[in-house]
């Protein structure tokens, strides 16, 4: 066990996988000479050379497609897209090609591709540079989408993503790169599609992923101290496949849930989770599933507006209180 940052865990895992498997190689903008826009790939060009650490021009559609083609012939490309915002320029290759090739051609060619990319708002980068659009990929059969919130998961899920035979969008988060945590020394991959119950409780279930998994934990701690609430927290870790079983089991126990998401409300991940709970635990629910999400606007640059638009711990606490009021009303 060692303590390290999320950034370090990603870096070390990439390096270890490149040492383990000659077929693993990296592509992306500024990952080599520049050491990575967020320094995840620092030093890897020097160690592995240009053949396996390929700096690309600003051509997201082109190099993502190239990675898909290389993956079809058995290589294991790990593509870095500088931020998830720029993945929009590669949308065709990801959705129409990476996600379709295996199924549409009757299982003849696999696409063992990983696309690493950070999302995240809250840094005053404005509307084009602050989006959380992992949902676009989680919508598509054929894609897997994972979203680690801790350094340990960054490692375990990246190992899993690289060793997986299908295309995986690996969601990082700008605000998590410097967070620290314990990381096991052994290289056991996570199971993609498995959520984690990061805190057990009986009163209500909080569900989040990536940055919002942290907000959920903080709120749970805070309300345990202030109100004696016993809150269960689930970190989704994987958006597709979605671990419906863990969600349903939790709500069967707590009878209420609040979903936290860092993207827009309408048609969001929270809607899918609410539907899942309503399908699988309707008879156990004592209140409607509430969602806490971003305001439905292009994210403004102005700090007060940006802060107001993003979901906050206070918004979550408000949603918990409303939900518990409704529960109390039902149980009365």
Partner 1 sequence: MNTPRAATPSGAAHGQHLLTQMLRVRRLEEKCVELYSAAKIRGFLHVYIGEEAVAAGIMATLDPEDAVVATYREHGHALLKGVSAGSILAEMYGFQQGCCRGRGGSMHLFDAATRFYGGNAIVAGGLPLAIGLALADKMAGRSRVTVCFFGEGAAAEGEFHESLNLAALWQLPVLFCCENNLYAMGTALSRSESQTDLAVKAAAYEIPAWPVDGMDVLAVEEAARRAVDAVRGGGGPHFLELRTYRFRAHSMYDPERYRDKAEVARWIERDPIDLLRATLEGAGRLSEAEWAKMQRDVDAEVSAAVEFAEAGSVEPVDELLRFVYSEIRSP
Ligand X SMILES: Cc1ncc(C[n+]2csc(CCOP(=O)(O)OP(=O)(O)O)c2C)c(N)n1
Nearer to ligand X, 91 or 317 (CB): 91
Site for ligand X in 6-45 (CB under 6 A): 29
Q: How far apart are CA 44 and CA 52, in angstroms?
A: 9
Q: Which of 9, 67, 82, 183 is in the footprint of ligand X by CB under 6 A?
A: 82
Own/partner long-range contacts of 216-223 (Cβ < 8 Å, ≥24 apart): 216/260, 216/316, 218/313, 219/313, 219/316, 219/317, 219/320, 222/313, 222/317, 223/317, 223/320
Contacts of 219 (CB under 8 A, 6+ apart): 206, 231, 313, 316, 317, 320
Q: Which of 19, 218, 301, 328 is in the footprint of partner 1 by CB under 8 A?
A: 301
Residue 112 CB, nearest approach to ligand X (Å): 25
Q: How far apart are CA 78 and CA 313, in angstroms?
A: 34
Q: Which of 58, 104, 305, 308 is in the footprint of ligand X by CB under 6 A?
A: 58
Residue 299 has which token pair? 């994210």
| Under rule CB under 8 A, residue 193 binds partner 1 | no
Contact 130, 78 (CB under 8 A): no
CA distance to 120, 233, 331, per residue, from 325 (Å): 32, 19, 10
| Under rule CB under 6 A, residue 190 binds ligand X | no
User: Taking contact as CB under 6 A, which single stretch among the options 82-90, 102-110, 266-274, 291-299 is the one that binds ligand X?
Assistant: 82-90
Residue 302 CB, nearest approach to partner 1 (Å): 4
Among 120, 129, 118, residue whose Cα is nearest residue 170: 118
Q: Please, what's the largest Cα pairwise distance for the chain?
A: 68
Site for partner 1 in 10-69 (CB under 8 A): 29-30, 33-35, 37, 55-62
3-state SS track over 194-236? CCEEEECCCCEEEEECCHHHHHHHHHHHHHHHHHCCCEEEEEC
Q: Which of 12, 23, 86, 252 is in the footprint of partner 1 by CB under 8 A?
A: 86
Nearer to ligand X, 58 or 308 (CB): 58
Q: Which of 296, 321, 325, 330 is in the footprint of partner 1 by CB under 8 A?
A: 296
Residue 326 CB, nearest approach to ligand X (Å): 44
Nearer to partner 1, 212 or 309 (CB): 309
Active site residue 30: no
Q: How far apart are CA 144 and CA 120, in angstroms?
A: 19
Active site residue 60: yes
- If you search the block for the tokens 């949603």, which residue do you land on? 319
Q: How many residues bind ligand X (CB under 6 A)?
A: 5
Report CA torsion sign: 59, 63, 66, 72: negative
Nearer to partner 1, 90 or 256 (CB): 90
Residue 86 CB, nearest approach to ligand X (Å): 4
| Under rule CB under 6 A, residue 89 binds ligand X | yes
| Active site positions, annotated | 60, 129
Give the footprint of ligand X on this chain (CB under 6 A): 29, 58, 82, 86, 89
Give the footprint of partner 1 on this chain (CB under 8 A): 29-30, 33-35, 37, 55-62, 85-86, 89, 123-129, 295-298, 300-305, 308-309
């Amino acid at each position: 066990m060692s303590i390290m940052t999320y950034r370090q865990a990603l870096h070390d895992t990439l390096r270890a996988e490149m040492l383990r498997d000659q077929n693993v190689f990296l592509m992306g903008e500024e990952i080599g000479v520049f050491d990575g826009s967020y320094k995840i790939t620092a030093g890897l060009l020097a160690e592995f050379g240009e053949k396996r650490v390929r700096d690309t021009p600003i051509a997201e559609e082109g190099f993502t497609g190239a990675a898909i083609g290389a993956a079809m012939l058995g290589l294991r490309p790990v593509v870095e897209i500088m931020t998830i915002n720029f993945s929009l320029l590669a949308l065709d290759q990801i959705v129409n090609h990476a996600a379709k090739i295996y199924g549409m051609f009757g299982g003849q060619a696999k696409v063992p591709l990983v696309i690493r990319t950070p999302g995240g708002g809250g840094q005053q980068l404005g509307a084009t540079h602050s989006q959380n659009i992992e949902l676009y990929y989680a919508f598509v059969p054929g894609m897997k989408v994972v979203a680690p919130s801790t350094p340990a998961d960054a490692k375990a899920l990246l190992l899993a993503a690289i060793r997986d035979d299908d295309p995986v969008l690996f969601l990082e988060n700008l605000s998590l790169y410097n967070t620290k945590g314990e990381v096991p020394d052994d290289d056991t991959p996570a199971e993609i599609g498995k959520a984690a119950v990061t805190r057990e409780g009986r009163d209500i279930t909080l569900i989040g992923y990536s940055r919002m998994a942290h907000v959920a934990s903080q709120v749970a701690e805070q309300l345990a101290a202030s109100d004696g609430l016993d809150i269960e927290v689930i970190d989704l870790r994987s958006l597709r496949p979605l671990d419906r079983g863990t969600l349903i089991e939790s709500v069967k126990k707590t009878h209420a849930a609040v979903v936290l998401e860092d993207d827009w409300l309408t048609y969001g991940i929270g809607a899918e989770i609410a539907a899942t709970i309503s399908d699988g635990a309707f008879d156990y629910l004592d209140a409607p599933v509430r969602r806490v999400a971003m305001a439905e606007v292009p994210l403004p640059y102005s700090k007060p507006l940006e802060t107001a638009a993003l979901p906050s711990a206070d918004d979550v606490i408000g949603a918990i209180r409303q939900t518990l009021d409704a529960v109390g009303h039902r149980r009365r």
